[in-house]
Structure 1
Amino acid sequence: MKRLYIAYGSNLNVMQMKTRCPNAKILGTAKLKGWDLLFKGSKSGSYLTIEKKENAIVPVVIWEVDKTDEKALDRYEGYPTFYYKKDIKVQYKGIRTGNRRTVTAFAYIMHEERQIGVPSLFYLNTCLEGYDTFYFDKQILLNAYHKSKELYENDR
């Protein structure tokens, strides 16, 4: 059975996704309205997550994944300990057709009690490559980085 998956972080990186999820297909791009990007994490590192926020927007890619791909994603995302899954209704624009479709897809969201953190440059660059591939506004990602860095430093 195939499911639709919302990627907003390192899984925007097509080469990384093709390696991890060889059967996954890119369906299109969308903007999650009312969601914001943040870097949170643990002692092992900080990674992107999304949280509800009025007037915020997160650019995303909608992937079609099969059960094997989803299991690989679960392992990568540390589901259910690090991230949980949430179904979100989203309207995407098809990569090939340009047609718009409204669907329900799942996203991984980091457990809210995780602390704000600063990601590695490797992780940030992996995400930036995905932003380049899909012509997303890189300032959204960089703003999340700067905001998280500032919050992290003020919290110390």
Structure 2
Amino acid sequence: MASKSLYFGYGSNLWKQQMSARCPENKYLGIARLVDWRWIINERGYANVIPSEGDEVWALLYELSQSDEKNLDRYEGVPVDYVKQNLQVEYYGHGEENKKIVEALVYVDVERVTGGWPPQTEYIHRMNCGIADALAQGISQTYISKYLRQSIPETKEE
């Protein structure tokens, strides 16, 4: 049996439809949190996470086949745009009382680590679709407002 990996999707891969298109064998598992990291838009105009004490990043957690992971590597520009790190995240299966610590793949841009850049125009729509899915899956509006909405404007069509 081929090995599976857990993937922490924190940017436009919050959008479940995009993940299904990129990784057709993926299995959505639930929401997860990366403690002491911060969500940013870096100079490339895409989401990144950086270590930041006291901050947090929420994401959708997916199980990926080896084939899906290879597809995702290509979409994410590994190893030029992002590198894969295995990090411990808090996984919430069905509510906070079920929290587990698991190791997940987190795609991190280790070269471009300053935030505050404007997002790529095409990225705004994908992020808004992802934000809608994140909220529907239980990621809090407080988190979305504090981190994602600082960089991603709401658009009328969403």
The residue aligned with 1:7 is 9
Change (3 A) 1:48 1:99: same
- Aligned-pair Cα RMSD in Å: 2.3
Gaps of 5+ in 2: 153-158
| Cα deviation, residue 3, structure 1 | 0.7
Distance 2:49 2:76 in 1: 14
Instruction: Quote the residue 1:25 is aligned against.
Output: 27
Does the alignment pair 1:54 with 2:44? no
More strand per residue: 1
For structure 1, the 5+ residue unaligned runs are 150-156
With normalisation by structure 1, the TM-score equals 0.80
CA positional deviation for 1:9: 0.9
1:72 corresponds to 2:74: no
2:118 match: 118
Task: Report the secondary structure of 2:112's partner residue.
Answer: coil
Secondary structure at the counterpart of residue 22 of structure 1: coil
Percent identity between matched residues is 32
| Residues 103-142 of structure 1: pairs in structure 2 closer than 5 A | 103-113=102-112, 116=115, 117-119=117-119, 120=121, 121-142=124-145
Q: Which residue of 2 is the match for residue 93 of structure 1?
A: 92
CA contact (8 A) 2:42 2:112 kept: no
Per the alignment, in what secondary structure is the counterpart of residue 128 of structure 1? helix
In 1, the alpha carbon distance for the partners of 2:94 and 2:71 equals 24
How many residues are aligned here? 145
Question: What SS does structure 1 have at the residue aligned with 2:79?
Answer: coil
Are the counterparts in 1 of residues 8 and 32 from structure 2 also a CA contact under 8 Å? no
Indicate conservation of the 8 Å contact 2:30/2:93, yes or no: yes
The change in CA–CA distance for 1:145 and 1:95 in structure 2 (over 3 A counts) is closer
Mapped contact 1:131–1:138 kept (Cα < 8 A): no
